[in-house]
């Protein structure tokens, strides 16, 4: 679970206990708590991350995104890398004019979520 979520062993253990051993339910609980956890850590220095690129079909539009995180453990997580690429794809499609505009836009893959939700 730690590899799937990027969260600490203790947080995963607590979620498993709360979910009565149901791994799928525990991961859902962790995702719900993820934004709360991210908010608590928002003042910490970001020392790791990834640079992801997205080149749209036809090779006429491309985007590079640097998405930072607290540890290299998170940066190596495939889901984190996927989020960075998805944000690049979104930028290529929607051309936000500023960081603030990007964060407020509905995510092109799931309009029920904003980019700020994806990052959290």
Which has the higher per-residue pLDDT, 32 or 62?
A: 62
The yes-or-no verdict on residue 46 having pLDDT over 70 is yes
The string of pLDDT tens digits covering residues 88-118 is 999 999 999 999 999 999 999 999 999 998 8
C-alpha pair distances (Å), 66 with each of 4, 23, 75, 78, 119: 21, 31, 11, 15, 12
CB-based burial, 21-51: b 16+ in 10 Å, e otherwise: eeeeebbebbeeeeeeeeeeeeeeeeeebbe
Q: What is the DSSP string of 12-69?
A: HHHHHHHTTT-HHHHHHHHHHHHHHHHHHTTTS---EEEEEEEE-TTSS-EEEEEEEE
Contact by Cβ (8 Å): 78, 52: no
Its pTM surpasses 0.95 = no
CA distance 111 to 1: 27
């Amino acid at each position: 679970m730690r590899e799937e979520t990027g969260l600490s062993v203790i947080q995963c253990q607590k979620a498993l206990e709360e979910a009565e051993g149901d791994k799928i339910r525990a991961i859902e609980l962790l995702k719900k708590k993820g934004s709360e956890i991210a908010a608590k850590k928002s003042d910490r220095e970001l020392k790791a991350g990834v640079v992801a690129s997205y080149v749209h079909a036809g090779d006429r539009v491309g985007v590079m995104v640097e998405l930072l995180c607290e540890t290299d453990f998170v940066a190596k997580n495939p889901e984190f890398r996927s989020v960075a690429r998805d944000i690049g794809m979104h930028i290529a499609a929607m051309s936000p004019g500023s960081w603030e505009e990007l964060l407020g836009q509905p995510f092109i893959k799931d309009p029920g979520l904003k980019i700020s939700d994806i990052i959290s």
